[in-house]
A and B are shown apart, each in its own frame.
Chain A
Amino acid sequence: MIKAILIFNNHGKPRLIRFYQYFAEDMQQQIIRETFHLVSKRDDNVCNFLEGGSLIGGSDYKLIYRHYATLYFVFCVDSSESELGILDLIQVFVETLDKCFENVCELDLIFHMDKVHYILQEVVMGGMVLETNMNEIIAQVEVQNRLEKSESLPFILH
Chain B
Amino acid sequence: MALKIVKGSIDRMFDKNLQDLVRGIRNHKEDEAKYISTCIDEIKQELKQDNIAVKANAVCKLTYLQMLGYDVSWAAFNIVEVMSSSKFTYKRIGYLAASQCFHESTDVIMLTTNQIRKDLSSPNQYDTGVALTGLSCFVTPDLARDLANDIMTLMSHTKPYIRKKAVLIMYKVFLKYPESLRPAFPRLKEKLEDPDPGVQSAAVNVICELARRNPKNYLSLAPLFFKLMTSSTNNWVLIKIIKLFGALTPLEPRLGKKLIEPLTNLIHSTSAMSLLYECVNTVIAVLISLSSGMPNHSASIQLCVQKLRILIEDSDQNLKYLGLLAMSKILKTHPKSVQSHKDLILQCLDDKDESIRLRALDLLYGMVSKKNLMEIVKKLMLHVDKAEGTTYRDELLTKIIDICSQSNYQYITNFEWYISILVELTRLEGTRHGHLIASQMLDVAIRVKAIRVFAVAQMATLLDNAHMLTGNTQRNGICEVLYAAAWICGEFSEHLENPMETLEAMLRPKVATLPGHIQAVYVQNAAKLFATVLKSQEGNTDSTTAQEASQLMIDRLPLFVQSANLEVQERASCILQLVKYIQKLQQKDVEVSEEVCALFAGELNPVAPKAQKKVPIPDGLDLDAWINEPPSESESEDEQPKAIFSKEEPKHSRPRHTEVDEKELARRREARKQEQANNPFYIKASPSSQKVYQETPGVEHIPVVQIDLSVPLKVPGLPMSDQYVKLEEERRQKERAEKKKKDKKKRKEKRSGRGKKHDSGPESEEDITPAHMVDIVTEEMPENALPSDDDERDPADPHKALDIDLDNLESAGKRPLADSEKLPVRSHRAAEVLKSPAEDEEGENVSSLEPKKKSSKEKREKKKDKDKDRKKSKEEKKKKKHKHEEKEEADLLCGQADEPAFQSEETNEVVTPPTSTSADEAATVAAAEAAPAPGAISVTTPDSEPEEPKDTEMEETKSSKHKKKKQKREKEDKEKKKKKKHHHHHHHHGDKGGEESVQNGTVEEEEPLPPMSNYCLLAENSYIKVAYDIQGNLQDGSQVVVSVIFENKCDSFLKSMEFNVLDSLNSKLQRPEGSGPHDSLTIPFQLPPGVSNEARFVFTVQSIIMPQKLKGTLTFIVKNEESSTHEKLDFKLHFTCTSYLITTPCYSDAFAKLLESGDLKSSSIRLEGVNMPFHHLLARICFHHHFSVVERIDSCASMYSRSIQGHHVCLLVKISSQTVSVDAKCDEPTLLGNVLDEIKQTFSQC
- Are B205 and A143 neighbours in the complex by a CB distance under 8 Å? no
Q: Are A46 and B353 CB-contacts (below 8 A) given A114-B96, A125-B136, A152-B89?
A: yes
- Are B63 and A114 neighbours in the complex by a CB distance under 8 Å? yes
- Are B126 and A147 neighbours in the complex by a CB distance under 8 Å? yes
Chain A residues closer than 8 Å to B206, beta-carbon distance: 128
Cα A149 to Cα B1045 in complex, Å, equals 69
The proximity string for A residues 113-146 relative to B, scoring 1 for CB distances below 8 Å and 0 otherwise, is: 1100110010001111111110010001001100
- Are A47 and B321 neighbours in the complex by a CB distance under 8 Å? yes
- Are A80 and B198 neighbours in the complex by a CB distance under 8 Å? no
Chain A residues closer than 8 Å to B2, beta-carbon distance: 158
- Are A84 and B318 neighbours in the complex by a CB distance under 8 Å? yes
- Chain A residues 101 to 116 lying within 8 A of chain B, measured CB to CB, are 110-114
- Among A26, A128, A131, the most chain B Cβ lie within 10 Å of the Cβ of A128
A114 to chain B, nearest CB (A): 6
Q: Are A22 and B103 CB-contacts (below 8 A) given A132-B236, A158-B5?
A: yes
**Closest residue on chain A to residue B103 by CB atoms:** A22
Contact residue among B100, B168, B321, B355 (Cβ-Cβ distance under 8 Å from A128): B168
Contact residue among A24, A85, A114, A125 (Cβ-Cβ distance under 8 Å from B236): A85
The proximity string for B residues 112-137 relative to A, scoring 1 for CB distances below 8 Å and 0 otherwise, is: 00000000000010100000110011
Cα A22 to Cα B53 in complex, Å, equals 29
A70 within 8 A of B: no
Give chain A's interface secondary structure class. mixed
**Closest residue on chain A to residue B164 by CB atoms:** A130
- Among B26, B137, B243, the most chain A Cβ lie within 10 Å of the Cβ of B137
Chain B residues closer than 8 Å to A50, beta-carbon distance: 355
Q: Are A84 and B274 CB-contacts (below 8 A) given A136-B198, A151-B87, A158-B5?
A: yes
- Are A82 and B278 neighbours in the complex by a CB distance under 8 Å? yes
Chain B residues closer than 8 Å to A51, beta-carbon distance: 355, 358
- Are B277 and A84 neighbours in the complex by a CB distance under 8 Å? yes
Chain A residues closer than 8 Å to B277, beta-carbon distance: 82-84
- Are B278 and A14 neighbours in the complex by a CB distance under 8 Å? no
**Closest residue on chain A to residue B165 by CB atoms:** A125
B67-75, B502-510, B833-841, B919-927 - interface stretch: B67-75
Chain A residues closer than 8 Å to B235, beta-carbon distance: 85
**Closest residue on chain A to residue B23 by CB atoms:** A111
- Are A80 and B209 neighbours in the complex by a CB distance under 8 Å? yes
B1151 within 8 A of A: no
Cα A121 to Cα B129 in complex, Å, equals 10
Q: Are A47 and B318 CB-contacts (below 8 A) given A22-B104, A126-B168?
A: yes
A146 to chain B, nearest CB (A): 10
The proximity string for B residues 442-463 relative to A, scoring 1 for CB distances below 8 Å and 0 otherwise, is: 0000000000000000000000
Chain B residues closer than 8 Å to A22, beta-carbon distance: 103-104
Chain B residues closer than 8 Å to A17, beta-carbon distance: 67
- Are A131 and B198 neighbours in the complex by a CB distance under 8 Å? yes
- Are A110 and B22 neighbours in the complex by a CB distance under 8 Å? yes
- Are A28 and B69 neighbours in the complex by a CB distance under 8 Å? yes
The proximity string for B residues 154-193 relative to A, scoring 1 for CB distances below 8 Å and 0 otherwise, is: 0000000100110011011000000000000000000000
- Chain B residues 77 to 113 lying within 8 A of chain A, measured CB to CB, are 87-89, 92-93, 96, 100, 103-104
A29 within 8 A of B: yes
- Are A25 and B126 neighbours in the complex by a CB distance under 8 Å? no
- Are B355 and A148 neighbours in the complex by a CB distance under 8 Å? no
- Are A133 and B9 neighbours in the complex by a CB distance under 8 Å? no
Cα A22 to Cα B105 in complex, Å, equals 10
A33 to chain B, nearest CB (A): 10
**Closest residue on chain B to residue A139 by CB atoms:** B161
The proximity string for B residues 342-381 relative to A, scoring 1 for CB distances below 8 Å and 0 otherwise, is: 0000000000111110100000000000000000000000
Q: Are A48 and B64 CB-contacts (below 8 A) given A130-B165, A130-B168?
A: no
B320 within 8 A of A: yes
Chain A residues closer than 8 Å to B171, beta-carbon distance: 126, 128
Cα A48 to Cα B87 in complex, Å, equals 42
- Among A82, A87, A113, A136, the most chain B Cβ lie within 10 Å of the Cβ of A82
Q: Are A151 and B89 CB-contacts (below 8 A) given A22-B103, A110-B22, A128-B209?
A: yes
Chain A residues closer than 8 Å to B103, beta-carbon distance: 22
Cα A82 to Cα B282 in complex, Å, equals 12
Cα A126 to Cα B132 in complex, Å, equals 9
Q: Are A83 and B322 CB-contacts (below 8 A) given A129-B236, A147-B126?
A: yes
The proximity string for B residues 9-39 relative to A, scoring 1 for CB distances below 8 Å and 0 otherwise, is: 1000000001100110010000000000000
The proximity string for A residues 38-70 relative to B, scoring 1 for CB distances below 8 Å and 0 otherwise, is: 000011011111110000000000000000000
Cα A147 to Cα B353 in complex, Å, equals 48
Chain A residues closer than 8 Å to B137, beta-carbon distance: 20, 126
Chain B residues closer than 8 Å to A125, beta-carbon distance: 132-133, 136, 165, 168-169
- Are A49 and B321 neighbours in the complex by a CB distance under 8 Å? yes
The proximity string for B residues 199-219 relative to A, scoring 1 for CB distances below 8 Å and 0 otherwise, is: 001100110110010000000
Chain B residues closer than 8 Å to A14, beta-carbon distance: 67-68
Q: Are A113 and B63 CB-contacts (below 8 A) given A14-B68, A129-B205?
A: yes
Q: Are A126 and B136 CB-contacts (below 8 A) given A25-B66, A47-B355?
A: yes
Cα A136 to Cα B132 in complex, Å, equals 18
B331 within 8 A of A: no
Cα A46 to Cα B137 in complex, Å, equals 33
- Are A29 and B352 neighbours in the complex by a CB distance under 8 Å? no
A59 to chain B, nearest CB (A): 13
The proximity string for A residues 67-86 relative to B, scoring 1 for CB distances below 8 Å and 0 otherwise, is: 00000000000001011110
- Are B63 and A25 neighbours in the complex by a CB distance under 8 Å? no
B1017 within 8 A of A: no
- Chain B residues 515 to 563 lying within 8 A of chain A, measured CB to CB, are none
Chain B residues closer than 8 Å to A143, beta-carbon distance: 126
Cα A137 to Cα B543 in complex, Å, equals 95
B472 within 8 A of A: no
A69 to chain B, nearest CB (A): 19
- Are B320 and A47 neighbours in the complex by a CB distance under 8 Å? yes
Q: Are A47 and B209 CB-contacts (below 8 A) given A22-B103, A82-B278, A125-B136?
A: no
Cα A76 to Cα B846 in complex, Å, equals 37
- Among B63, B321, B352, the most chain A Cβ lie within 10 Å of the Cβ of B321
- Among A43, A84, A132, A152, the most chain B Cβ lie within 10 Å of the Cβ of A84
The proximity string for A residues 6-27 relative to B, scoring 1 for CB distances below 8 Å and 0 otherwise, is: 0000000010111010101110
A111 to chain B, nearest CB (A): 5
- Are A113 and B64 neighbours in the complex by a CB distance under 8 Å? yes
- Among B202, B317, B354, B355, the most chain A Cβ lie within 10 Å of the Cβ of B355
B273 within 8 A of A: yes
Cα A125 to Cα B64 in complex, Å, equals 20
A152 to chain B, nearest CB (A): 7
B736 to chain A, nearest CB (A): 41
Chain B residues closer than 8 Å to A26, beta-carbon distance: 69
The proximity string for B residues 1007-1028 relative to A, scoring 1 for CB distances below 8 Å and 0 otherwise, is: 0000000000000000000000
Cα A121 to Cα B87 in complex, Å, equals 19
A46 to chain B, nearest CB (A): 4
Cα A152 to Cα B17 in complex, Å, equals 15
Chain B residues closer than 8 Å to A148, beta-carbon distance: 88-89, 92
B583 to chain A, nearest CB (A): 57
Chain B residues closer than 8 Å to A136, beta-carbon distance: 198
B352 to chain A, nearest CB (A): 7
Q: Kindly list the 6 A-B residue pairs having the minimum CB-CB distance in the complex, ordered from nearest.
A: A126-B136, A84-B274, A46-B353, A47-B317, A22-B103, A29-B69
Sample of 19 more A-B contacts, CB < 8 Å, known A47-B356, A113-B18: A17-B67, A25-B66, A42-B353, A46-B352, A46-B353, A84-B273, A85-B236, A87-B274, A110-B22, A114-B63, A121-B133, A125-B133, A126-B137, A126-B169, A130-B198, A136-B198, A144-B126, A148-B88, A158-B6
Can you spell out 27 A-B residue pairs with CB atoms less than 8 angstroms apart? A14-B68, A18-B100, A43-B353, A45-B352, A46-B353, A46-B354, A47-B320, A80-B212, A83-B322, A84-B274, A85-B236, A85-B274, A110-B22, A110-B26, A113-B63, A113-B64, A114-B60, A125-B136, A125-B169, A126-B136, A126-B168, A130-B168, A147-B89, A148-B89, A148-B92, A151-B87, A151-B89
